[in-house]
Amino acid sequence: MTLIEMPTIGTEVDFLERAKSIAHIIESEAEATERETDVTDVAGDAMREQGLFWMFVPRHYGGGQVDIVTALKVIEEVSRADGSTGWVLMATSIGTRNSSFFLPKEGADELFGGPTKAITAGYAAPLGTAVEVDGGLIGSAERLQFGSGSKFTTHMACVMRVFNEDGTQKMVDDKTPDIRAYIAPKDQITMLGNWDVMGLVGTGSYDYALPERFLPDKYTLRSNFWTDPALPVAGSELNRGTIGFAGHIGVVLGLMKRALEEVANIVPGKKRQGYDTTVDKNQVFLTDFARADAKYHAVRSYAFEVLAEAEEFAHTNGEVSAELTSRVKQVTTWVHEVGTEVINFAALWGASQTIRNPSALGRVLRDMSVARNHLAADPIGLIQSAGPILSSWQRAQ
């Protein structure tokens, strides 16, 4: 098990400024990242040297312990430079957060207590199976998908359903199946490839497998997404389900921001047949640009407002309210819908500069197309979130 040396992180570190300081490196590596189907070592090293992988990790372990809005702004900035790199940072920083907060203390101390630390990520669906034994589980997973950022991880989460010896599903209570995530050292993992896609190409989201083995309790997260933190410090109260959805917001905001930057710098002086002005002075373009700009800023402000309120509510009350849980799901879905609209607008007005490679705008368009298909952005999210939100508007009888 090889951990990664983490740079010293002071208590007053500005992670957003750190992200901005390396954005030009990430941007310059974007074409190579897409070509290699993995974030390049140059871009990955830049994020490691700035401590971005560990920005959520508790200060107790030397991490940044940032709030969720700060983290999303960091992910937004990296995603603005390159969508795949931002996605990898999202997946690994949140996975590392969850391990450092929610593993049993013995396991967390081993992975984060020294000068070298873990980087973890992995797929949340329970596709593995296990049975409980003394001190842990015996389990395996034949194929887990979407190992985003696996190139940079030291450990991969392997989520599995726990079964009784008679083959029946083990339950936590009458309604809740026993699902656990084993944080497996990378040398126990078999990488299976299978990442040939149209967008977010450089995320290295390969399939992976865990051969059958003993899974010690100290490396296992228990009880689905709502495990009580082993290290109850500020930030740990926001459950893993909520933060897992919210992380995708930062990526899409970054893609939107880059799309608006790109089209704003493409249109000056550009002429189109039948236009009596250059594109940047055309009334149709200007109206559409003003709308797209407003959409980006409006949905960004709402997302940050909801997430800041959810984190504060959880800190005060120990959990996120039903309404705020619904609003996180609502705004995550809505960010993706607005992002699709804004990026499609920019791609249309970018004309041939969108479709001729290399094209940052073309890459953003492809990345958004894939991000939009993620489970976190499924349209059913709006249906599922509507009830508690509707109730919040109704007057008490």
**Radius of gyration, CA atoms only, the chain:** 22
The whole-angstrom separation of Cα 13 and Cα 9 is 7
pTM to 2 decimal places = 0.95
Residue 347, CA distances (Å) to 21, 30, 87, 95, 256 in order: 27, 18, 21, 32, 11
Number of DSSP helices (H) and strands (E) in the chain, helices first: 12, 10
Domain 4-117, CATH among 3.40.50.10710, 3.10.20.740, 3.90.700.10, 1.10.540.10: 1.10.540.10
Identify the pLDDT of residue 192.
97
Residues 6+ apart with CB under 8 A from 67: 235, 308, 311
Q: Which CATH superfamily is domain 240-393 in?
A: Butyryl-CoA Dehydrogenase, subunit A, domain 3 (1.20.140.10)
Is the domain spanning 121-224 CATH 2.40.110.10? The answer is yes
Identify the pLDDT of residue 5.
82
264-268 contact pairs (CB < 8 A, 24+): 264/289, 266/349, 266/350, 266/351, 266/353, 266/361, 267/349
> Reduced to 3 DSSP states, what percent helix, strand and coil does the chain have, rounded to the nearest 5?
55, 15, 30
Identify the pLDDT of residue 226.
46
Residues 6+ apart with CB under 8 A from 392: 323
From first to last of the 397 residues of the chain, give the pLDDT tens digit: 678 888 878 777 899 999 999 999 999 999 999 999 999 999 999 999 999 999 999 999 999 999 999 999 999 999 999 999 999 999 999 999 999 988 999 999 999 999 999 999 999 889 999 999 999 999 999 999 999 999 999 999 999 999 998 999 999 888 889 999 999 999 999 999 999 999 999 999 999 999 999 999 999 987 554 455 665 665 667 777 788 888 999 999 999 999 999 999 999 999 998 899 999 999 999 999 999 999 999 999 999 999 999 999 988 888 889 999 999 999 999 999 999 999 999 999 999 999 999 999 999 999 999 999 988 888 898 999 999 999 999 987 6
Do the first three CATH levels of 4-117 and 240-393 match, i.e. the same topology?
no
Q: How is the chain split into domains, by residue range?
A: 4-117, 121-224, 240-393
CA proximity to 100, closest of 246, 222, 231, 238: 231
The whole-angstrom separation of Cα 65 and Cα 69 is 12
Residue type, 280: D
